[in-house]
Amino acid sequence: MKAFWDRKEKPYVLIVFLLPFLWMLGSLLMGQYFPDPGKLLMRLSGIWACVFVAAALSVTPLMKIKRFNWLVRYRRFVGLSAFFYSMLHLVIYLLLFAGLSWRWIRSDLVEKPYIYAGVFALLVLLALAITSTKKMMKRLGRNWKRLHRLIYLATIAIVLHLWWQVKGDTSLAVIFTVVFVMLLGLRLISNRKKLKKTIVSATI
């Protein structure tokens, strides 16, 4: 019964997570982003990638509250959405910014070193997406948790990516830094509590 419910529910959940993408695609096709669609789409895809990274970091602390237990069902979807919107951000960069010219990308990398921080975060998200299946979880055992802790490093890289490119307006960098610092802080506190508990139970 539960499996049937999950299967029935999944397409709707998928549509919800795809809504920002569908909205961007629709606006692009209706010509709303012209004359410079690349610039705006780059910003929007980056913002949605950050939103889903923040959502992925929120799931575990929220699940500690009984009322939000059901979130466990969507944890993988949220993480995969963070990866999806980051990939979209990269595809927009390659197509609309670079026009698939490797020579252009090489000179852009010299001008914009913050791209390396973005690439690092994306590679981490890729590794987490590949290992997000139940099969991989079993295969990696204890190392799965260790690997998935890389999300903290990816988040720091994203903050770096945002601040490094600031020219005038800092609002986006400030908003996401505050959100990420709060979420990473929550994780740190909860990990410390867990460590204390294991030390206490080991000494009893």
Q: Which stretches of the chain bind ligand HEM, using CB under 6 A?
A: 39, 42-43, 46-47, 49-50, 53, 86, 89-90, 93, 112, 115, 118-119, 121-122, 158, 161-162, 165, 172
Rounded to the nearest whole angstrom, what is the least distance from the CB of residue 91 to ligand HEM in the complex? 9
CA 83 – CA 124 distance, rounded (Å): 9
104-127 burial, b for 16+ CB within 10 Å, e for fewer? eeeeeeeeeebbebbebbbebbee
Nearer to ligand HEM, 73 or 156 (CB): 156
Nearer to ligand HEM, 51 or 186 (CB): 51
Rounded to the nearest whole angstrom, what is the least distance from the CB of residue 56 to ligand HEM in the complex? 10
Rounded to the nearest whole angstrom, what is the least distance from the CB of residue 137 to ligand HEM in the complex? 23
Rounded to the nearest whole angstrom, what is the least distance from the CB of residue 94 to ligand HEM in the complex? 8
Amino acid at 155: T
Amino acid at 77: F
* 85 within 8 A of 47, measured Cβ to Cβ: no
